[in-house]
Amino acid sequence: MIRSHVLICGGTGCSASGSGAVKEALEAEIAAKGLADEVKVVQTGCFGLCALGPIMIVYPEGTFYHSVTAENVPEIVEEHLLKGRPVTRLVYHEVNDDDVKHATSLSETVFYKKQKRVALRNCGVINPENIDEYIGVDGYRALAKVLTEMTPEQVIDVILASGLRGRGGAGFPTGRKWQMARNLVPDADQKFVCCNADEGDPGAFMDRSILEGDPHAVLEAMTIAGYAIGSNQGYIYVRAEYPIAIKRLEIAIGQAHEYGLLGDNILGTGFSFDIKLRFGAGAFVCGEETALMTSIEGNRGEPRPRPPFPAVKGLFGKPTILNNVETYANICQIILNGPEWFASMGTETSKGTKVFALGGKIQNTGLVEVPMGTTLREVIYDIGGGIPNGKKFKAAQTGGPSGGCITTENLDTPIDYENLMRIGSMMGSGGLIVMDEDTCMVDIARFFLEFTVDESCGKCTPCRVGTKRMLEILDKIIAGNGTLEDIDRLEELANYIKSSSLCGLGQTAPNPILSTLRYFRDEYIAHVVDKKCPAGVCKSLLRYKIDPAKCKGCTLCARKCPVGAISGSVREAHTIDAAKCIKCGVCMSTCKFGAISRA
Amino acid sequence: MKKKLTTVMFRGTKAQEEKLLSVIEKYRDTEGFMMPILQEAQEIYGYLPIEVMRIIAKETDTSVEEVFGVASFYSQFSLNPKGQVAISVCLGTACYVKGSGQVLEKISEVLGVSPGSTSPDGRYSLEATRCIGACGLAPVMTVNNEVYGRLVPADVPGILEKYR
């Protein structure tokens, strides 16, 4: 009889923190103590709290251990699993309202309490490599319902009524997409269902977590989509950089075949559907739907003009739908719980929940899923735990290289597709990078622009040449050679590129520039007019100075300076030769008297 | 994306070529065969030298230009051999905001290898990579697929010491 289950996270974050070694140690120790028949170790997908990894939960108590190492294992097995006394020292504690630290189970943490997990509902709950566990939590029940009780039109009507919109960024109504693919070319001999798992936005990793933690949910939803539009073949285009996700998808596809839930004559209904994996090879533009299809066809992943839309002429020239992983992860829940349930969450125009990947200067980095309409303040301060080291919040970037920043004044704006557009950002895939006062917004704009210059496929001129010119202007500004005219030219160029590029990559590439210009124009002006970087990031604009009153003349800095820019005699105030200084900051970090400052 | 052909001499073996031919055979009739073939070819050789692209072109009845066009488009395909110690520093947004740029600089300084290149003896290669999805541990780097997280530049010498 199994009396206890130990769940250990096997997602990418916790694996990188060493959860594999912990799992091996656990299994060995449990066997050594003769508990193998009583205690079961289950490797799950991502819990979301990657910052505290490796994460381990012991059921039925629900004890939440964090930052577990292999060295902790013997003690946990001996004390908790054998004697029934949780190792308090290693259990997660949270400070409550009375400022008292208390042991907290995962579901009680502030991080979890405000969340509403729909797309992530099975992540960290089931073993993703075991189809029986998925079936145990209503898995494949939606597919059975669709195939036996509903017509394809009814399926599409349910998705339409739910108000679900694409979670990949643009927010196109999913039901509309399916309807078009079903109706526009009624006599097509072949149609395709594609899944975009080429998560390219740096800083977003919800799709990876879903594939790693709940791969069957995606397979089931794609099969439902196949039934709805009249297709028998699906493709998942997944990043080659996600080896764990690929492995679990392969296992899941194999198991679904074995159970007759994929392949010929599914559940004996006569409906057939199969799914093939295709690996992306690291090209951001392949997140664009036509580029992704061109890539599956085996070519350079360049986009093509629309129309014709993929619903008419997509993969291999056939009608095709493409949805993102997170979008699919909502489908089965909508079928099972009804469109009204889904539409009851969220705002007027944006229904359901959205997963965000919290990263950057924030306490609880990880994955959070909240109802649409939650404010950024709730996400950053309540769930995310605020900014570490007592620093001040400056901005949050959503939408990655295609998005923009959200500033203090918009912290209380409910997050949905329309509101984010209105304030000059976008939903994007859900990366949410928090920046504090030490982040230079001009530098961040340059960072994103360098990314798009690198990832521009080169097919259309505005994007290929225009982004490069913008980058050159930014480089000039950061080097301290910019003028006010440069800022105007940057803005002008940005608007041209936005309106004339072929695909989404080029059309949105100027967004980080336009958004930082809108909210942080003063920082640009400081770089250009005062030749200063207010955040102290842009090296060319930094000046290191020695305060003669504080300098004891210990000569330490002069000896450490790699370019010999510091001179002065023993016990006399030293000086820095600005012409020689390479602004490495070594002097400042070595000075014991705090005599060196940066401005 | 700039990609230069390698100057390293091609040292492919007969066994590798046989493996490559069987891979080509496996995918010959698959729609969109080029990407899977290139991906497996890179697994066999560690990179995609022009000699390998020529074989693929000949066997699949495409032109070398077409093969090169695909290989040079995607960042996963490497036209240069990687070092025995392959180091990648994540420059995704979350890592960048938390200072992975300085970590990259430090590694480059310690090894004397600039990002995107391999040391002359072929021992170390250093590259800046896109998000690997371990944003919770930012900033991160990988050395031969081993992940190191929550880095500061001062951690670099200690980590590299393990791979001397």
Distance from CA of B94 to the nearest CA of A (A): 5
3-state secondary structure of A60: coil
User: Whole-model pTM?
Assistant: 0.91
Confidence of residue B1 (pLDDT cuts 50, 70, 90): very low
Question: Touching check for A433 and chain B: CB below 8 Å?
Answer: yes
Measured CA to CA in angstroms, residue B34 lies from A245, A280, A403, B76 at distances of 22, 12, 33, 14
For residue B137, the chain A residues in CB contact (below 8 A) are 13, 16-17, 50-51, 53, 365
pLDDT tens per residue across span A336-361: 999 999 999 999 999 999 999 999 99
Q: Which residue in A33, A42, A121 sits closest to A80, CA to CA?
A: A33
- Strand-pairing partners, residue B99, are none
Q: Does the beta-carbon distance from B75 to A199 stay under 8 Å?
A: no
The minimal CB distance from B130 to the residues A202, A279, A361 is found for: A202
pLDDT at B140 over 60: yes
Q: Does the beta-carbon distance from B76 to A444 stay under 8 Å?
A: no
Q: Does the beta-carbon distance from B36 to A50 stay under 8 Å?
A: no
pLDDT number for residue A586: 85
Is A429 or A27 the better-scoring residue by pLDDT? A27
For residue B96, the chain A residues in CB contact (below 8 A) are 202, 447
Put simply, the chain A residues between 224 and 243 with a CB less than 8 A from any chain B CB are 240-242
For residue B98, the chain A residues in CB contact (below 8 A) are 360-361
* Phi, psi torsion values for A346, nearest 5 degrees: 100, -160
- Number of A to B CB contacts under 8 A, please give it: 135
pLDDT tens per residue across span A73-126: 999 999 999 999 999 999 998 877 677 788 888 888 888 888 999 999 999 999
CB-based contacts of A408-415 (< 8 A; 24+ apart in sequence): A410/A376, A411/A375, A411/A376, A411/A377, A411/A380, A412/A375, A412/A376, A412/A377, A413/A375, A413/A376, A414/A347, A414/A372, A414/A373, A414/A374, A414/A375, A415/A354, A415/A370, A415/A372, A415/A373, A415/A374, A415/A375, A415/A376, A415/A379
pLDDT number for residue B116: 84
The conformation of residue A346, written as its DSSP 8-state character, comes to B
Confidence of residue B101 (pLDDT cuts 50, 70, 90): very high
CA distance A318 to A498: 30
Going along chain A from its start, the domains and CATH numbers come out as 4-108 (3.40.30.10), 131-342 (3.40.50.11540), 353-436 (3.10.20.600), 441-528 (1.20.1440.230), 542-598 (3.30.70.20)
Q: Does the beta-carbon distance from A298 to B1 stay under 8 Å?
A: no
Q: Which helix (H) or strand (E) holds A286?
A: none
Question: What's the rounded mean pLDDT across residues A590-594?
Answer: 91
Distance from CA of A568 to the nearest CA of B (A): 28
Distance of CA B122 to the CA centre of its chain: 13
Q: Which residue of chain B is at minimal alpha-carbon distance from A201?
A: B131
* Phi, psi torsion values for A322, nearest 5 degrees: -130, 120
> Using DSSP, how many helices (H) and how many strands (E) does chain A show?
25, 19
Q: Which residue in B107, B102, B101, B92 sits closest to B137, CA to CA?
A: B92
For residue B76, the chain A residues in CB contact (below 8 A) are 240-241, 280-282
Q: Does the beta-carbon distance from B69 to A300 stay under 8 Å?
A: yes
Is A244 or A191 the better-scoring residue by pLDDT? A191
Alpha helix positions (H), A141-242 = 141-149, 152-162, 174-183, 206-213, 215-229
CA distance A470 to A491: 9
- Strand-pairing partners, residue A369, are A355
For residue A242, the chain B residues in CB contact (below 8 A) are 133
The minimal CB distance from A16 to the residues B76, B94, B147 is found for: B147
Q: Helix A467-478 vs helix A521-528: angle between axes, to the nearest 10 degrees?
A: 60
Question: Touching check for A516 and chain B: CB below 8 Å?
Answer: no
For residue B150, the chain A residues in CB contact (below 8 A) are none
pLDDT at B2 over 70: no
| Rg, Å, chain B Cα set | 18
Say which residue the tokens 């990947």 belong to.
Answer: A357
Q: Does the beta-carbon distance from A16 to B97 stay under 8 Å?
A: no
For residue B133, the chain A residues in CB contact (below 8 A) are 12-13, 199, 205, 208, 241-242
Best residue in B74, B89, B97, B104 for a mutation probing chain A (most A CBs within 10 Å): B97
- Strand-pairing partners, residue A357, are A367, A431
Question: Touching check for A300 and chain B: CB below 8 Å?
Answer: yes
Strand pairing category for A566-567 and A596-598: unpaired
3-state secondary structure of A283: coil
pLDDT number for residue A186: 87
CA distance A53 to A16: 9
Distance from CA of B119 to the nearest CA of A (A): 23
Best residue in A454, A542, A586 for a mutation probing chain B (most B CBs within 10 Å): A454
pLDDT number for residue B4: 66
Give me chain A's average pLDDT, please. 94
Distance from CA of B98 to the nearest CA of A (A): 6
Q: Which residue in A196, A119, A186 sits closest to A152, CA to CA?
A: A186
Q: Which residue of chain B is at minimal alpha-carbon distance from A444?
A: B97
Q: Hey, what are A183's tokens?
A: 């109706």
Going along chain B from its start, the domains and CATH numbers come out as 14-73 (1.10.10), 85-161 (3.40.30.10)
pLDDT at A377 over 80: yes
Q: Which residue in A211, A320, A223 sits closest to A262, CA to CA?
A: A223
Q: Does the beta-carbon distance from B75 to A281 stay under 8 Å?
A: yes
Q: Hey, what are A61's tokens?
A: 């108590």
Q: Does the beta-carbon distance from A298 to B98 stay under 8 Å?
A: no
pLDDT number for residue A236: 98
The conformation of residue A10, written as its DSSP 8-state character, comes to -
CA angle B4, B10, B16 (to 5 degrees): 120
For residue B135, the chain A residues in CB contact (below 8 A) are 13, 50, 203, 205, 357, 359, 365
pLDDT number for residue A450: 93
Question: Touching check for B35 and chain A: CB below 8 Å?
Answer: yes
Q: Which helix (H) or strand (E) holds A306?
A: none
Question: Touching check for B65 and chain A: CB below 8 Å?
Answer: no
Give me chain B's average pLDDT, please. 90
pLDDT tens per residue across span A456-485: 999 999 999 999 999 999 999 999 999 999
The minimal CB distance from B92 to the residues A202, A240, A298 is found for: A202
pLDDT tens per residue across span A407-434: 999 999 999 999 999 998 999 889 999 9
CA distance A13 to A244: 11
Asked if residues A463 and A456 have their Cβ atoms less than 8 Å apart, the reply is yes
pLDDT at A270 over 90: yes
* Phi, psi torsion values for A393, nearest 5 degrees: -65, 135
